Amino acid sequence: MPLSNDVKLRRTKKPVFPDTCIACGQAHPGHSLEYSGRASSWVHLFLWWYPGSKHTVAVPACPPCASVLRRNRILRGLLSWAAIAVSVAVVIYFFPPKRGPLRKWIFLGSVVLGYLPMMAWSLFHPPPFDMTIDEDAVTYEFKDELYAHGFAAANNAEVE
């Protein structure tokens, strides 16, 4: 099953990547792609506008792969937002917002509902690299198992 291979490191640790392209495996790509994300926690379900602290890493990727990865990342982002927008629109259409305490929950539920298919799809079609950032740890997610083991070895960690 093509689930991602995860390696969790402390956030303060600067990760060491194997010197091969994350996507095609070319040795010494001499180029990297910057990935950044923000810490998220359950708090963001309620305070989604509140920015978590930023975490940035440079992942080795040869120039052609870097541009494909960059484009796919933007596409994934757009698709998630589109799915959420459609879900919210459908819910509002069938449950016209009325005043009341339920309104907020219906809205929140429709956001989650819109996000679920994308999340499920991503779970079984992981991108070559992704990361999940918590307040004190970062989970580096690799599609390629060998790459994940190389990364884990370089950082004295283990593949989960």
> Residue 144, Cβ neighbours under 10 Å: how many?
19
Nearer to Zn ion, 21 or 111 (CB): 21
Give Cα separations from 151 to 19, 34, 53 (angstroms).
10, 17, 24
Cα distance between residue 79 and residue 63, in whole Å: 24
Nearer to Zn ion, 20 or 87 (CB): 20
Q: Who contacts 72 (Cβ-Cβ below 8 Å, separation ≥6)?
A: 127
From the CB of 63, what's the least distance to Zn ion, in Å? 8
Nearer to Zn ion, 84 or 130 (CB): 130
Binding residues (CB under 5 A) for Zn ion: these are 21, 23-24, 26, 62, 65
From the CB of 139, what's the least distance to Zn ion, in Å? 23
From the CB of 69, what's the least distance to Zn ion, in Å? 9
